[in-house]
Amino acid sequence: MSNYPALHLLVGGEQISGDGRDSEDVINPATGEILGRLVHANAADLDRALEGAEKGFREWRKTPADKRAAILTKAAGLIKERAGEIAHHLTLEQGKPLGEAKGETIYAAMLLEFYAGECKRLYGRTLVRPEGSRVEVQYHPVGPVAGFAPWNFPTLNVMRKIGGALAAGCSVIVKPSEETPASGIAIVQALLDAGVPGDAVQCVFGVPDQVSRHLLGSQIIRKLTFTGSTAVGKHLAKLAAEDLKINTMELGGHGPVLVFNDSDVDQALDTMAATKYRNAGQVCVSPTRFLIEEGVFEKFRDGFVERAKALKVGNGMEDGTQMGPMANSRGVDGIQEKIGDAVEKGAKLMTGGERIGNQGFFHQPTVLSEVPTDAQIMNEEPFGPVAILNPMSSEDAMIEEANRLPYGLAAYAWTSDPTRRRRLAAEVEAGMLAINTGGVSAVDAPFGGVKWSGYGSEDGREGVMACMVPKAIHEG
């Protein structure tokens, strides 16, 4: 037995399960085993959650900032204490190696700690006029928030939906992915255990389209925050627009990596190969299009292939596993289709390319080189363990290719030239640019994209301000 917890909704602080509600199986992507049965919220549950969110908002917004900060800090401590157990459930339901699952969960707790500190720094400003009148600019929580989180980072994504909203004084109803429910439930439970009122943070599951239509159809919800694909993001933004709700949209990407002749190629290889195959490439900020200046192309390609071949793929619960299965069969099918299309159009398959075995959803770490621009994979987010390595003739051509797609989430560059860094910072169209590093995330820095990768930021001060609205008080 897998030691997987019982699953439930959390509405008004109450654990709800069964009673004739619809339900679905949760699958272990490494084994295909059914881990548990997840109950869906019915319409009455969602209405109850909405009424609760309104009450919870009134209560939580009036909770003094230092008390909110203390409760959120306590919740972060509980998540850290429970990180081993939460990570175990996360790996069972999502597949990533246990160490990555634990690291993600600790990072989610650190993000909450940061947000707790921000509660006490939500300042307004006063405009004092020479003639004596003044304007006070205040910031207020926008109201109840609906958050929809995907399955690729089951604890961190849920925290990104909840943390900024609670710090701002909003209540929040979160719908984690139905594919990774235990991780989301554990995060919400820690907040409840620390003292967040049961109406201020609630957790529901169901058929995503039904739940989002129900919650966004209510005027109680004043903000939508979504992480997922661009297609779903556009659909939800339209639903939210019906009621002029504000949005944060963290959507797909297609991360370019610009590797210049003057870079430290060995360091770039070690960092970017690990970054590429983290979470089997199912990461919105995953490096995907490697644009390599011709002078270092062969060295980079050969080194990358060597590292991809050396990766140990296996069940995330086993020691030494560096890459787990993909999280679901859709992912494997999608990646197979894109690799087949690229090879048919003339790309070279340097390593990988196949699914592994017939149990679970494993796929080989794959490298394609010299992939033509009209291949599907050059235009659509791969969201899997595939790297595209293409030789490029100049900085201008690399920047042009980086900016060619409508996406603009994360971009990466490797160069030792300081003036080039400044040019890249100015010209690469992305919400986040990593230069000589593989990291684009920090709890105190904004995380988000431009163009089809979305708008609004999570993390950093921006993540809290995205849940607040200004009010100007004019005094004569």
Nearest distance, CB of residue 459 and ligand NAD, angstroms:
13
Nearest distance, CB of residue 246 and ligand NAD, angstroms:
17
Q: Which one from 179, 284, 381, 429 is the annotated catalytic residue?
A: 284
Answer yes or no: 284 catalytic.
Answer: yes
Do strands 172-175 and 145-148 pair parallel, antiparallel, or not at all (unpaired)?
parallel
Residue 99 or residue 208: which is nearer to ligand NAD going by CB? 208
Distance CA 431, CA 291 (A): 19
Distance CA 201, CA 75 (A): 12
Distance CA 289, CA 297 (A): 13
Q: With contact defined as beta carbons under 8 Å apart, do 24 and 38 qualify? A: yes
Q: Among residue numbers 241 through 270, which ones bind ligand NAD (CB under 6 A)?
A: 250-252
Is residue 232 part of the contact set for ligand NAD (CB under 6 A)?
A: yes
Residue 50 or residue 194: which is nearer to ligand NAD going by CB? 50
Q: Among residue numbers 98 through 117, which ones bind ligand NAD (CB under 6 A)?
A: none
Which of 52, 147, 150, 325 forms a contact with ligand NAD (CB under 6 A)?
150
SS3 state at 103: helix
Which of 212, 275, 315, 364 forms a contact with ligand NAD (CB under 6 A)?
212
Cβ within 8 Å of residue 130, ≥6 positions away:
none
Q: Which one from 104, 250, 395, 429 is the annotated catalytic residue?
A: 250
Is residue 209 part of the contact set for ligand NAD (CB under 6 A)?
A: yes
Q: Which helix (H) or strand (E) holds 450?
A: strand 450-451
DSSP string, 391-436: EES-HHHHHHHHTSSSEESEEEEE-S-HHHHHHHHHHS--SEEEES
Distance CA 298, CA 86 (A): 42
Distance CA 97, CA 314 (A): 9
Is residue 208 part of the contact set for ligand NAD (CB under 6 A)?
A: yes
Q: Among residue numbers 290 through 349, which ones bind ligand NAD (CB under 6 A)?
A: 330
Distance CA 469, CA 82 (A): 34
Which of 105, 171, 225, 227 forms a contact with ligand NAD (CB under 6 A)?
227
Size of the site for ligand NAD (CB under 6 A): 22
The two structure tokens encoding residue 98: 């246990």
* Length of the chain, in residues: 476
Nearest distance, CB of residue 151 and ligand NAD, angstroms:
5
Residue 82 or residue 451: which is nearer to ligand NAD going by CB? 451
Residue 118 or residue 179: which is nearer to ligand NAD going by CB? 179
Residue type, 202: Q
Among the listed ranges 70-78, 224-232, 286-294, 349-357, the one in contact with ligand NAD (CB under 6 A) is 224-232
Q: 359: alpha, beta or left, given left = phi > 0 and alpha = psi -120 to 50?
A: beta
* Residues in a beta bridge with 407: 451
Distance CA 414, CA 395 (A): 12
Nearest distance, CB of residue 432 and ligand NAD, angstroms:
13
Q: Among residue numbers 61 through 90, which ones bind ligand NAD (CB under 6 A)?
A: none
Among the listed ranges 11-19, 133-141, 146-154, 265-273, the one in contact with ligand NAD (CB under 6 A) is 146-154
The two structure tokens encoding residue 295: 């002078």
Nearest distance, CB of residue 285 and ligand NAD, angstroms:
8
Q: Among residue numbers 364 through 423, which ones bind ligand NAD (CB under 6 A)?
A: 381, 383
Distances in Å between the Cα of 454 and the Cα atoms of 3, 225, 296 are 38, 11, 33
Nearest distance, CB of residue 214 and ligand NAD, angstroms:
10
Nearest distance, CB of residue 201 and ligand NAD, angstroms:
18
The two structure tokens encoding residue 287: 């490096």
Answer yes or no: 458 catalytic.
Answer: no
Residue positions annotated with a catalytic role: 250, 284
Residues within the interface to ligand NAD (CB under 6 A) = 148, 150-152, 177, 208-209, 212, 227-229, 231-232, 235-236, 250-252, 284, 330, 381, 383
